[in-house]
Amino acid sequence: MKLHGTMRIDNNQLLIGDVSVEQLREEYGTPLYIIDQKHFINKARIFLDNFRSEKFKTHISYASKAFSNLYILGLTKEIGLFLDVVSGGELYTALAAGYDPEKISLHGNNKLPEELEMALTNNIGRIIVDHRTEYSVLSALAAKKQKKTKVLLRVNPGIVADTHKYIQTTTEDSKFGMSIVDPETFLLLQDMSSDPWLELEGIHCHIGSQVLNKDFFFQEASIMFSFTRKLLDDYSIKLREVNLGGGFGVYYTEADQPFNYAEFLAEYIVEIEQIIAELNLAIEIVSIEPGRSLINSSGSTLYTVGAVKQSYHGKPFIFVDGGMTDNPRPALYQAEYEACLANRMQEEPTDNYRIAGKCCESGDILIEDVALPQAEPGDLLLIPGTGAYNYAMSSNYNRIPRPAVVFVENGQSRLAVKKETYTDLIRNDQKYL
């Protein structure tokens, strides 16, 4: 297993942030989400230090859908990241974390009128409009509330990024945004640019997630700025901002070879500067929205092994005390992971195990096949690379409480989210009689 961030081995034990995971189990129980704080901050710095230009402002906007709670948003706020939210709940969390509303953008293909209203009431920085119906609702709301608001239109440049189809977002029949070849898109942009209550700042696109080939991002930039030029030439629509979304791929297993972010971002900014200069555009802000690439490798999930069981055909299973409730990605889109026995780090693998959760679903398999040392009940199994879209997508299926989230750094651990209790599970239930 690849060791991420501050992970290190001491005396057969795994440590993260200089805290042994055995100690974390004793203090917080399992399953447990562990976040390596120093590693996260270092990742954020890579984005802030390398995606910057003398020619225009750059915004690094953390895609909070990847992992959102008061603690992490307090940290991203302090580091100086902008924030992308995609629902009233994410917006509420951001505001409760004390985020400057001006730094928040609201996304979503079907924002509810009350979510748009909430964004207007709280003066959030930008609303990324997805389609005409939403534009009409927003325009009417802004007029009613007499509130001017900055908007971008989410466009679809028709790039088919090489990733799982559930996380491709700019295929021609994607549910997101407006196609750049659809005549209706130009009409909508004209209406948005002349709307008395909306300030059309620019366009946005996001080509998909877990994209490992950086060429797609260069292609995206070229298409997006050419489209910006076309809007100016053919429709006299002048834009000052282009948001290129997120999607930068990460390492889950040896099959993933992510590009070096620092090198890529420095190259990307030069390329963007050149494109803007060649097209003679007056762009003032270029934004990106990393989610997975910022948080994923900082996060791990720690489980206790409950049993080791041979199937009738001889496949050895390791059963852990969590599963698809804390990590639905393998069941959802065949996501793959590495794992280790965190209390047997220096022992040789003896078997190829299948790691199964405790949920009543045959599909509740976290890893199909992983070589590990001889496992026994009570061992600690750790799956790294679970920072993004794990806690965020967790559920209470089978009425299993969500695990706690703990941040570790310099030998200290800090509880960020308490483990749910059985009382939490029935909090909103109403009795029959």
Separation between Cα atoms, residue 398 and residue 239, nearest integer Å? 50
Among 4, 103, 214, 292, the residue binding ligand PLP under the rule CB under 6 A is 292
Nearer to ligand PLP, 60 or 188 (CB): 60
With 0-12 / 13-18 / 19 or more C-beta atoms within 10 angstroms meaning exposed / middle / buried, residue 232 is: middle
Size of the site for ligand PLP (CB under 6 A): 17
Q: Is 287 in the site for ligand PLP (CB under 6 A)?
A: no
Contact pattern for ligand PLP over residues 99 through 138, marking x by CB under 6 A: --------x-------------------------------
d(CA 5, CA 298): 7
Q: Is 384 in the site for ligand PLP (CB under 6 A)?
A: no
Enzyme catalytic residues: 360
* Backbone φ, ψ for residue 337 (5° rounding): -140, 160
Q: Which are the contacts of 394, defined by CB distance < 8 A and separation ≥ 6?
A: 325, 326, 327, 328, 402, 403
3-class secondary structure, 124: coil
CA dihedral 292, 386, 161, 168 (to 10 degrees): -90
Nearer to ligand PLP, 20 or 327 (CB): 327
Q: What is the dihedral of CA 168, 249, 242, 173, to 10 degrees?
A: 0
385 is a contact residue toward ligand PLP (CB under 6 A): no
For residue 148, the minimal CB distance to ligand PLP (Å) is: 23
**Footprint of ligand PLP on 340-359 (CB under 6 A):** none
Nearer to ligand PLP, 161 or 366 (CB): 161
Site string for ligand PLP, 205-244 (x = CB under 6 A): -x--x-----------------------------------
Closer residue to ligand PLP (CB): 289 or 321: 289
Q: Provide DSSP, 221-261.
A: HHHHHHHHHHHHHHH-----EEE----B---SSTT--PPPH
In angstroms, give the least distance from the CB of 145 to ligand PLP: 25
CB closer to ligand PLP out of 293 and 304: 293
Is 293 a binding residue for ligand PLP by CB under 6 A? The answer is: yes
Residue from 245, 299, 330, 357 touching ligand PLP (CB under 6 A): that is 245
Query: What H or E segment, with its residue span, contains residue 332?
Result: helix 329-333
Which pair of tokens denotes residue 303? Answer: 């489980």
For residues 375 and 407, the answer to whether their CB atoms sit within 8 Å is: no
CB of 155 to ligand PLP, least distance (A): 12
The neighbour count for residue 387, using CB atoms within 10 Å, is 31
Residues near ligand PLP (CB under 6 A): 63, 65-66, 84, 107, 206, 209, 245-248, 289-293, 388
